[in-house]
Structure 1
């Protein structure tokens, strides 16, 4: 099992082990002027695998299966994106190609086992007749107006399980399991019986590539061709990086945070298609620009359908007011409420909500007030009319990763999932 060490996105760079920080700088994950990490994902280094969880994750409560949920969540989010983004851009999944290769090798092995060489054996009168070969090689004898072949060419298939290609295959799977099996598979498995009894390859890397090329030229089944191609790619990648390396993650986890919450919140209502859009006047006409219209993160409704909660997933620290969303985020929510109320009518009560990562409620709500009050008690707070309030909630990142990776919904009546209630608070507005 891999040696796992947990860190967090937005941790201070100086808090990381020196060797890990240096490696991440070399890999371009930490810029020279950065004081905090902006990365969520995995980095393999000399002491094992560094796992960077979402900000505000409680590291003490983590177990090895949480690394599996993180990787599954990253994989699910980026595979599900409709827009194709070329590798290397900041908003895409770093290491997508390597991750896809490792997943494919593991899935192929779990479904079909180790490589087996299929070798055709040709004989005479000792197996299944090969009529094409027989007609080309043998002289027929006439009998009753039809040709008769006294000898027929026959063929049979022999399966060789202990060949050099099978050994290379076993070595690659063993390497993946040993380096980061629990991260990829979710199981504390380093190997199995089939892998244990297969000897290591006898040849060096260059000769292994030659063996695979020769095997590829003699292969005809789709599975064999794909597998050999993946093994060649894996050997090239690991030899280039000096060993099996796991470098998978994103510098823009706030996109993933918003996407996960949207997928995992129950009772959603789609109002985006009904929200107002801007019109620009040109000469004597107003022209609609629908792609620049309002779009909310998520809207959910209560069981009785009499209340709506407009939810904005915010990937902020939010442990103090200074580390919470600013004016432009508040204004968007206030306008979303106006738009939502125009859609649902007067029979539905609309409330506004932020959801931050974490499991401790640092902030309760936010209102707009008059200046120069500084720090003031609730009963003396001077509120500006017409804005309303936005309620603050916190969702445990570890729980959200698990729910999202498993395709499950959050339970809003469980305090361990999201702090506070979206609809009980709305009753006191």
Structure 2
């Protein structure tokens, strides 16, 4: 899937590496995005190569024909930025073990693009003085010109005027323009509906002939003589950009997440309503050591998300599972299933008079054919039915699917998934 206007190509995390274009595979390998011996993609985000931006969406994503691809890519970047911010501010670091790559780069690019939209190119402002032109500078006129007295009044046949000039030919302006051209060529769609529009304006500015090290020196010199907040902010941003690209021969972008389990969990948790914080009350192992009992808080139960029905004493334990969930082979392992059973058992202990507890796995995808997971005795027979399910001993785990593209859009904009929330609450009814 591609958008030739912006040179965007779309792929999914966990796709077969052999299905990627040869040039993209090689670029990912050079950037260290392909684990040794891996057969599948393990990356969600974007990277640039050969003037193309490859966007990797969460697994099982399906792009509808009516979607605007640049908006989809932009939402993914905003979602990754929000996830990075939540990871930076979280005290529960265990929930954010996924490696986030290049998030600082996208922040810098967005800042430089937005500054250009608000303030335009960096310019040098000078004041020019000319006879009988511009706004009269009376102080200079009185000091430098001869006055004639007429009826007791001083008359100046010539006055000195001033006018402000904006210079767009300075070296700093050229550096600013060149950096913006580079950003627009590879990631202008982040800010501009049509990146060609700012490129037309920027094309009138001369290219930079100095090397990156010299450019940084020039920017630092300008920074030391600047006083306005905007100029200082911009110059520092331009220096950071050049420092980043100086060590990259290809000047490519890589922004994303290597493993998306935590990303998937965080997005779902943030987009659900009626959440109940129970982890601080959940069960934990109690060790008897040399006659003393020691509670291992760090080894206690930790659920992804628990919802409490707004009008009844009913709960939903929702566990975000980043599995393909197409068949038995691509579904949760026994350890995940058993843990979910124990979550329900623990909830019955910490909550009194619970009416109902629903256990749910949420997989990525617009739809899927796994409806629920039950436990049964091992048997040699080939056909099983509802009577074989041990649901009284092990309440079944419901399985539902959430469209990753819809989730990314809502999470990136700080919105809730009201329909998904209601669907989960209905399972406890």
Q: Same fold (TM over 0.5)?
A: yes
Pick closer, same or farther for the CA change 1:257–1:242 going to 2, 3 Å: same
Aligned pair partner of 1:33 in 24, 28, 37: 37
Q: Which residue of 2 aligns with 1:396?
A: 403
Structure 1 residue runs of 4 or more that deviate by more than 4 Å after TM superposition:
83-86, 118-122, 125-129, 155-159
Pick closer, same or farther for the CA change 1:73–1:128 going to 2, 3 Å: farther
**TM-score normalised according to structure 2 size:** 0.81
Pick closer, same or farther for the CA change 1:58–1:194 going to 2, 3 Å: closer
Task: Determine the C-alpha separation between the residues in 2 that align with 1:301 and 1:19.
Answer: 49
Deviations 1:311-357 (A, max 9, x none): 00000000112211011111111111112122332243111000000
Q: Which residue of 2 aligns with 1:20?
A: 24
Deviations 1:191-240 (A, max 9, x none): 33994475133533355344323323322334323322321332343354
What stretches of structure 2 of length at least 5 have no aligned partner?
130-135, 141-161
Aligned pair partner of 1:314 in 321, 342, 349: 321
Contact 2:376–2:389, Cα closer than 8 Å, also in 1: yes
Equivalent runs, 1:6-405 vs 2, <5 Å = 6-46=10-50, 48-61=52-65, 63-81=69-87, 82=89, 91-118=98-125, 160-182=167-189, 184-185=190-191, 187-192=193-198, 195-196=201-202, 198-206=204-212, 207-242=214-249, 244-373=251-380, 375-383=382-390, 385-405=392-412
Pick closer, same or farther for the CA change 1:373–1:189 going to 2, 3 Å: farther
Pick closer, same or farther for the CA change 1:5–1:295 going to 2, 3 Å: same
Task: Determine the C-alpha separation between the residues in 1 that align with 2:356 and 2:121.
Answer: 60
Once the two structures are TM-superposed, the CA of residue 187 in structure 1 deviates from its matched residue by: 3.1
* SS of the residue 2:54 aligns to: strand
Task: Determine the C-alpha separation between the residues in 2 that align with 1:314 and 1:162.
Answer: 56
Task: Determine the C-alpha separation between the residues in 2 that align with 1:299 and 1:10.
Answer: 28
* SS of the residue 2:174 aligns to: helix
Pick closer, same or farther for the CA change 1:202–1:261 going to 2, 3 Å: closer
Contact 1:365–1:389, Cα closer than 8 Å, also in 2: yes
Task: Determine the C-alpha separation between the residues in 2 that align with 1:208 and 1:357.
Answer: 47
**Worse-superposed segment, 188-197 or 368-377:** 188-197
* SS of the residue 1:403 aligns to: helix
**TM-score normalised according to structure 1 size:** 0.81
Q: Does 1:4 align with 2:8?
A: yes
Once the two structures are TM-superposed, the CA of residue 186 in structure 1 deviates from its matched residue by: 6.8
Contact 1:56–1:397, Cα closer than 8 Å, also in 2: yes
Contact 2:314–2:355, Cα closer than 8 Å, also in 1: yes
Q: Which residue of 2 aligns with 1:135?
A: none
Equivalent runs, 1:413-428 vs 2, <5 Å = 421-427=423-429
**Worse-superposed segment, 63-72 or 99-108:** 99-108
Q: Which residue of 1 aligns with 2:132?
A: none
* SS of the residue 2:197 aligns to: coil
Task: Determine the C-alpha separation between the residues in 2 that align with 1:52 and 1:43.
Answer: 9
**Worse-superposed segment, 1-10 or 108-117:** 108-117
Contact 1:174–1:191, Cα closer than 8 Å, also in 2: no
**Worse-superposed segment, 91-100 or 387-396:** 91-100
Pick closer, same or farther for the CA change 1:90–1:368 going to 2, 3 Å: closer
Contact 2:184–2:199, Cα closer than 8 Å, also in 1: no
Pick closer, same or farther for the CA change 1:244–1:79 going to 2, 3 Å: same
**Worse-superposed segment, 98-107 or 332-341:** 98-107
What stretches of structure 1 of length at least 5 have no aligned partner?
130-154
Deviations 1:285-328 (A, max 9, x none): 32233232211100112342332110000000001122110111
Deviations 1:16-48 (A, max 9, x none): 111111111111101341111111111111151
Cα RMSD after superposing both structures: 3.2
* SS of the residue 1:309 aligns to: strand
* SS of the residue 1:57 aligns to: coil
* SS of the residue 1:424 aligns to: helix
Task: Determine the C-alpha separation between the residues in 2 that align with 1:284 and 1:242.
Answer: 63
